[in-house]
Amino acid sequence: MKLNEIYPSRYVKAEDLSDDVEVVIDRVDMEDFEDPQTKKQSKKPVCYFLNARKGLILNKTNAHLIGKLYGEETDDWKGKTVTLTVVDVEAFGDIVSAIRVKLPKADKPAGGGLS
């Protein structure tokens, strides 16, 4: 039995993605969270997608990336497509896997590339 089955989460994690996933945004909700160490309460945006069971807790990086693509108003993101990808990032003195948002391949501008 997999640990994700024993301890299911409402939110997508990097370990849940084996490859890039193209998703359509359904909505962004503000949800209450508690820091397990400090017990401090906070609200964070969570992005939900059509035909997906789990939402993505939007960190500042991903929220600003979507905002750069589709505007600052999260209500305007409904129906917009993004690709979720996993990248290695440095955090807290370690290298960890993290989910990042990028523009879907079909929406990328033609040309450019590396030279």
Distance of CA 18 to the CA centre of its chain: 14
pLDDT in tens, 51-109: 999 999 999 999 999 999 999 999 999 999 999 999 999 988 999 999 999 988 766 54
**pTM: predicted TM-score of the whole model, two decimal places:** 0.83
114 has pLDDT over 60: no
Angle at the Cα of 106 from the Cα atoms of 60 and 13, rounded to 5 degrees: 35
What phi-psi label fits residue 17: left (phi over 0), alpha (psi between -120 and 50 degrees) or beta?
beta
Residue 111 forms part of a structural domain: no
Domain hosting residue 85, numbered range: 3-104
Residue 86 forms part of a structural domain: yes
Q: HSE on the CB side for 9, CA within 13 Å? A: 12
Cα four-point dihedral sign 50, 61, 94, 92: negative
Residue 56 forms part of a structural domain: yes
Work out how many domains the chain is built from and give that number.
1
